[in-house]
Amino acid sequence: EVHLVESGGGLVQAGGSLRLSCAASGFAFDDYAIGWFRQAPGKEREGVSNIKSGDSTTYYADSVKGRFTISVDNAKNTVYLQMNSLKPEDTAVYYCAAGILPRSRYNNWYIALYYDYWGQGTQVTVSS
């Protein structure tokens, strides 16, 4: 059975940091790309970052470049999202997702439909 379990969310002041974790099990981790998405109230789900566990290629949304860092620990089947210099507009539920993305889809890594498995989400709240 496939599981993606996010953790590490919480309440932080603007300018602070959080590290999210996504622990994966039940599928061939090395074959999948792992994406972080977020959804704020009243807004659509948006892609934040993506990493292909097999080769560690990474992608970021423009809104988080230079502030967020995605990484993977293949031995633990876990993907991390280090979030620094957090802003109130980063407030959202953060989800990790896994999907097999062929090269033709890699430029569109932020499309949620490309992902097969989703975690339950973790709340991140940034106060001003």
Phi-psi region of 90 (alpha: psi -120 to 50; beta: other; left: phi over 0): alpha
pLDDT, tens digit (0-9, with 9 covering 90-100), for 25-54: 999 888 899 999 999 999 999 999 999 866
Look up residue 2 and give its two tokens: 């496939």
- Give residue-wise pLDDT tens across range 68-108: 999 999 999 999 999 999 999 999 999 999 999 888 888 89
Adjacent-strand bridge partners of 22: 6, 79
